[in-house]
Chain A
Amino acid sequence: MDPFEEQMKKALRRELPRAGFAARVRRRIAVQEERPRRAVWPWFPALRWVLPILVCLVIVVTLWYRQGKVERARGEAAKQQVYVALRLAGAKMQLAQSKVRQF
């Protein structure tokens, strides 16, 4: 048997736990369960509402902004239409006036 095989055999041999191993494990588990759990929001408890409120606020502001943008576009289009109507009305009045003057 070469030295490598010797080492492998030594490393992989079955070893029994030391006396009281199971008791020690059970005790450690019990101690861990008794410790207070770390809170998800360890700092100020009201802060847990900040994120959802911020998300809602962002949604509301985005919707408001988009609505304003649509409203502005409609308003500008209506304004341009008023100008078109007045220009046409003016042009035709001008035509009527020139004809009246000719007569």
Chain B
Amino acid sequence: MKPNYSVALVVLAATLTAHGQKIQVPASWDKLAAKAQEVANVTLDKSMLGLAAKFMKDDNDQDSVEINRLLEKLNGIYVRHIEFKNPGEFTEAEVEPVRAQLQGPEWSQIVNVSDKNSKEKVVIYVRTVNGKSAGMVILAEEPTELTFVHLDGSIDLHDIDALSGNFGIPKDVHAPKANSEKPNPTGEKR
């Protein structure tokens, strides 16, 4: 009997999907990085996050406590940030493969802002599995910057809210408090 590799592949894919989804950044980004002025690559899987959390505990301040709480929920952090000297170094074609991976039923755009004058575009995607948040992706295109941030894990805007005021995270952007009377200030802009 011939082994059915396609079934095995589907099972493997389903298993991988169940345990988190890594968004593949296209190889063309490596070529972009080669001509960039500044590049930031962050690849932290669960074990590395655990290690980072262990060393953050040593810092023993409020920020570290909040970050640790956030890290406990994450399975991975993946960042690609490319900064160019001149505008127009990348095209939409370079971003499209990333966007295409965020089109599945689990992904939804919660923020999509695009400014034609300044040529800036920021899209925030949230992944939801069985009604629970399972990740967040920020994809930002600016004339001289291209940024992809993937926070893989059961993180939502409330968690980011807890870090507000630090790391450039705005204070009042995100999730409405559970008993808040005010409407969500972010809204959805599509």
User: A99: shortest Cβ distance to chain B, in Å?
Assistant: 4
Please state if A89 and B169 are interface contacts (CB–CB under 8 Å): yes
Please state if A82 and B71 are interface contacts (CB–CB under 8 Å): yes
Which residues of chain B (118-150) have a CB below 8 Å from chain A? 120, 122, 124, 138, 140, 142, 147, 149
Q: Which residue of B lies closest to A76 (CB)?
A: B55
Please state if A85 and B115 are interface contacts (CB–CB under 8 Å): no
Which residues of chain A (20-79) have a CB below 8 Å from chain B? 71-72, 74-76, 78-79
Q: Which B residues contact A (CB, under 8 angstroms)? A: 40, 42, 44, 48-49, 51-52, 54-56, 67, 71, 77, 79, 81, 111, 113-115, 120, 122, 124, 138, 140, 142, 147, 149, 151, 160, 163, 166-170, 173-174, 186-187, 189
Please state if B51 and A78 are interface contacts (CB–CB under 8 Å): yes
Main secondary structure of the interface of A (DSSP, over half): helix
Please state if B42 and A84 are interface contacts (CB–CB under 8 Å): yes
Q: How far is the CA of A37 from the CA of B166 in the complex (A)?
A: 77
Give per-residue flags for A2-21: 1 if the beta carbon is below 8 A from chain B beta carbons, else 0: 00000000000000000000
Please state if A94 and B168 are interface contacts (CB–CB under 8 Å): yes
Q: State which of B51, B77, B120, B189 has its C-beta within 8 Å of the C-beta of A85.
A: B77
Please state if A85 and B111 are interface contacts (CB–CB under 8 Å): no
Cβ of A1 within 8 Å of any chain B Cβ, yes or no, is no
